[in-house]
Amino acid sequence: MQGYEQYSVIAEDIHQNYSDVKVLKGVNLAVERGAVHGILGPNGAGKSTFVDLCTGSSKPTSGTMQVLGVDPHRNSALVRSHMGIVMQEAAFPTGLKVKDAVTCWQRYMSATEYTVPEFFDLEKLADRRIHELSGGERRKLDLYLAMMGNPSLLILDEPTTGLDPLARRDVWEVIQNLAETGTTILLTSHYLDEVSALCQQLSILLNGQIVASGTPAHIAKEYSHTRQGWVELSDCQNAQALGGDLSSQSGYKNIRVHDATVSFDVESPTGLQNLFATSAYRDAVLDFALSDYSLENAYGSIVRSTDAPQGIGSTRTD
């Protein structure tokens, strides 16, 4: 397969319609080789539809799709032989033992020389049946099987959906270790913390369109209109005074005073130092902190500007 020296996936003006429903509307996206590229969006945004196009399961209504240098629909067998896929639901019979599932898949993939990375830590699970595994352990098994054959591209379709917070962290660690091997990873998610932790590049998909792309830090800075500030003062009286002063100035929102602490959202913090330098606050400010631009704020701004349903979680809470 030739022509994919820089990008493992290239999508140009992809449209996908099902009857009268337009699921993807002019998607343009490029996944660099060796990178972890995330697609963030709520349920129904078109993430799984895009994954189907990447695997060759579907053909786009219009537009050009290239995966590992070829058209994935016309060359689906070739593409899949160089691809590992982890879908939201695993398909192995749950009565199988882990070691038997590994053997079956190894034979299917003709991956007799695959070396198991230590971070999978599957030896202790070998004699357990799949239905006896926890959610996190099943995901580790899915990732291991997907990596068998040393694929050039690993596709993870919402890999931590339904997992508890500790299991999610375990799966994240495996994905981060896989990324360090140089494997190209395309990951779909609707969790902000997940894409922030794992992805070097990010595309936000809303209503079938890519509305923002870049590093998570770039998107956070480009689209966040506020940062969160926090000030601790010497006493409650000074805190009340500062809260009043901030309320009278433009650019400050959600001002909250609790005891001797003032918190707020600010569009531009440049005026704070001048305010703190005045005689009223010069000796009263004990501590001050200002957050970085957040992906959560950026995503909220993007959603409001597109009138799309949010449907995104910052973290899992169940």
Percent of the chain surpassing pLDDT 90: 47
Q: How far apart are CA 299 and CA 52, in angstroms?
A: 25
**pLDDT tens digits, 60-75:** 999 999 999 999 999 9
Comparing CA positions, the residue from 132, 133, 84 lying closest to residue 109 is: 84
Helix (H) / strand (E) containing 157: strand 153-157
Predicted pLDDT at 312: 55
Q: Which CATH number is 225-290's, of 3.90.650.10, 3.30.70.1650, 3.20.20.150, 3.40.50.300?
A: 3.30.70.1650
Q: Taking residues 10-22, what's their average pLDDT?
A: 94
Across the strands, what pairs with 258? 261
- Domain residue ranges in the chain: 7-222, 225-290
- Give the length of the chain: 318
Q: Taking residues 287-313, what's their average pLDDT?
A: 78
Q: How far apart are CA 54 and CA 61, in angstroms?
A: 14
Entry pTM: 0.79
CATH fold label, 7-222: Rossmann fold (3.40.50)
Q: Taking residues 157-179, what's their average pLDDT?
A: 88
Comparing CA positions, the residue from 25, 29, 15 lying closest to residue 60 is: 15
Q: Do the domains 225-290 and 7-222 match in fold?
A: no
From the number of C-beta atoms within 10 Å of its C-beta (0-12, 13-18, 19+), residue 254 rates as exposed
Strand order in the sheet with 7-18: 21-32, 7-18, 62-67
